[in-house]
Structure formats: C-alpha cells, structure tokens
Chain A
Amino acid sequence: MSTSQVFTALAPYLLAALLALIPALVEVLRTFGRRVGFVLHSGAGWAILAINAVTGLLTYAAVKWFFGVSNDLVTAAIVGLTFPTLLRSPLTFISGVETPDAEFKESALHVLADLYDQLLRLAREDADTRQANERAEIAVRLAQKHGADALGHQVRWRINALGDVAMQTHYQQALEQALAIANERDRGVAVAMVALDVVPRPTIREWLRRRQPLEE
C-alpha cells in the first residue's frame, strides 16, 4: 500500500476528528465565554477537546460500519460536524440497538458522561485558579510600581465618579479598609485589588506600562 493510498484511507477519519473539534470548541466557548484562553492552558481543557476529537472519529467509524457507507470525505464531514446530535438523537445506532446488556451500555455511557463532567469541573477550576493568579499578579505589580497612596488617590477619584450610589459606598468602604491595613505590602496589594474592580482595564494596562509612578 503506497503512502498516498494510506493517506486517502485515513483522511476521512482525520477530517471527522478535526471537524469534531468545532462543536467541542463551540461548547467550550459557550461554557467558559471570554475565559476560554484560561481553559486552553489547562490539561483538562485539552482532554475535553481530545475526547471530542476521538468521539468524532469513533462515531464516523461506527456510522461507516453500521450503515455500510463508503469511506469518503463528505460523510466524514457530516459526522464530524454533527456527532453530538447523532449521539444524542433517539434514532441513532446507540439507542436503536436492543441488546440484553442495555443496562451495561447505559452505565458505560453514564461513566463517560461522568468523566466528561469531571473534566469540565477540572477545567473550570483551572480557569478560576489562573484568573485568581492573574488578578493577584497584576495587583502585586501595581502595588510595587505605584504604592498604596498614589493608587489610593487615583482609585478614590474613580470611585467618586461612579454613578451608582450603592457601588460608590461599597468601594469607598473597601478602599478605606484597604488603606487602613498596617502591613505596607498588603496595603498596596489590597488597594490595587480595589483598583481592579473600579478602574477600566485599558487604564490598568497603561498604569502597568508607565515608567513614572502615579501622582499622589
């Protein structure tokens, strides 16, 4: 068998696996929204994508075997893009085949669903942890660069500009509490944490890039 024949035989499987990543990515995007970048840094996040790719590939193999269709790219593309629907549809081969070990099959599917839920939970925890770490690092850098007093001055000005009185009161309390912290390092980081809530992100980035300290 020549290399091109091997490639021709494998191409539909690869296509099904690759296209299966599209519904998986849509699902990950829908679940994690703008935090998708954090998920793609997580082993669990990649495992979710890998499971979808493998499931797409196996679904294509099963469809080919069950319906006796030829090994072609069009079928692979259809299966790759629609495999979540195919697997969940009551008309598919999974629920259509009545076997004595249906209970076992159901439990096996439950095990897979549980595994998927666990991976989603782990990916969510990884994303949460990365986000918390990023907030802490930005706060530490802001505190080191500008100090609690200068940051506090800027933050107070922005709190006063807030339209919502309840938010204004809450953040004023948070800022006063932060400025009252005895430990200098904690004080700077705490004020920076308040800044992360009330100062727009582009301004925070500008403060991080800035060579001169902020004015008090």
Chain B
Amino acid sequence: MGERILRLNAKDQELLGQVLELGAATAIEVAVKTLRQPDEVRPELERLHQSGLLKVRRRKGDYEPNIYLLTAEGKQYAAQVKVGSQPGRARRRVDE
C-alpha cells in the first residue's frame, strides 16, 4: 500500500494535537480543551477516525461512549502541531 498524504485543515490539526496532548479523550473533553462546541467536534473526530488517524475505545454507559486515541499515522500528523500551547492540569509530556 502506497503512502498517502491527507490534507488536514487547521481545526483537524488542532483536534489531533489535543488528543496527542491528552493521550486519550472523549469528544466533550476535546471540545472543552479546544474551546469549541461538542456537537461541532463529534462529527469531526468521527471523520478523523474514518480517515484512520484516530482509533476508538468504547467506554461503559450511553453517554460519550467513545474514547479517541491517535493511530501511528495520526501521531505523525499530530506531531507537526505545536503542543503545550494551552494551560491545564491535564497537559502531559508527549514523549512519555
């Protein structure tokens, strides 16, 4: 399979960068961290999941059943985004 190059807009990059920073996150957490509305972020995360940049782990319960993590390819794209630009307790070392 040949190497593919995805065109990501600034919002996609910001979402990937945020997931990289958190390690794993629900859509609502990503929305809060990126100062956006959850209804706007959920379909975008789903699209990134369909593109193979994010993978999903299920959590119990009917509310926010998806936890998003970066795939190996997603990490490559997210690494291009500047991280650590936002304050917050949840900020973590990306090289951990």
Does B7 touch A at the CB level, under 8 Å?
no
Return the contact of B24 from the options A32, A125, A186, A197 (Cβ within 8 A): A125
* Chain A residues, Cβ within 8 Å of B86: 170
Which residue of chain A lies nearest to B65 when distances are taken between CB atoms in the complex?
A: A136
Binding site for B on A (CB under 8 A): 31-33, 124-125, 127-129, 131-133, 135-136, 139-140, 164, 166-167, 170-171, 173-174, 177-178, 180-181, 183, 185-186, 189-190, 193-194, 196-198
B contact residues, total (Cβ < 8 Å): 28
* Chain B residues, Cβ within 8 Å of A167: 87
B23-34 interface bits toward A, Cβ cutoff 8 Å, 1 = contact, 0 = none = 111101101110
Which residue of chain A lies nearest to B87 when distances are taken between CB atoms in the complex?
A: A167
Does B57 touch A at the CB level, under 8 Å?
yes
Residue among B26, B32, B35, B90 with the highest chain A CB neighbour number at 10 A: B32
Additional A-B contact list (16), CB under 8 Å, known A133-B59, A197-B89: A31-B96, A129-B57, A131-B23, A132-B24, A132-B26, A135-B26, A135-B29, A136-B29, A139-B28, A140-B63, A174-B32, A174-B35, A180-B37, A190-B32, A190-B38, A193-B28
Secondary structure of the B contact surface, majority rule:
loop
- A166 close to B29 (CB less than 8 A): no
Does B2 touch A at the CB level, under 8 Å?
no
Binding site for A on B (CB under 8 A): 22-26, 28-29, 31-33, 35-39, 57, 59, 61, 63-64, 67, 69, 86-90, 96
